[in-house]
Amino acid sequence: MTKNGYNFKVYTPLEAPIINQFKVSSIPHTFLIDQKGTIVIDKNGAANWNSDTVKATIDKLLLL
C-alpha cells in the first residue's frame, strides 16, 4: 500500500474484526465496494484482477 501510494482502506482478518460481518468462509475472498458501501464484486477464490472487465469496473467507480 505504501510503496504504491494507495490510500484506500484494506481489511484483513488480523486487523479488522468487522470481517465477520461479511460472512466469509474461504480465503481468498475479495470484495470491491463502491463509495455508497454497495458490494460491486464479491469474488470467492482466485481471480484475475487485471482483466479488462475488472479494470473497466474500477475505472467506472472512480469516475462516480
- pTM for the complete prediction? 0.57
Q: Tell which residue, 25, 21, 17, 64, has the closest CA to residue 45.
A: 25
Q: What does the angle CA 59 – CA 53 – CA 35 come to, to the nearest 5 degrees? A: 40
Q: Cite the DSSP H helix spans in 1-64.
A: 52-63
**Residue matched to cell numbers 464479491:** 42
Summarize pLDDT for 10-35 with one digit per residue, the tens: 766 655 565 567 777 677 888 898 98
Q: What is the mean pLDDT of the chain?
A: 82
**Pair 33, 50: CB distance under 8 Å:** no
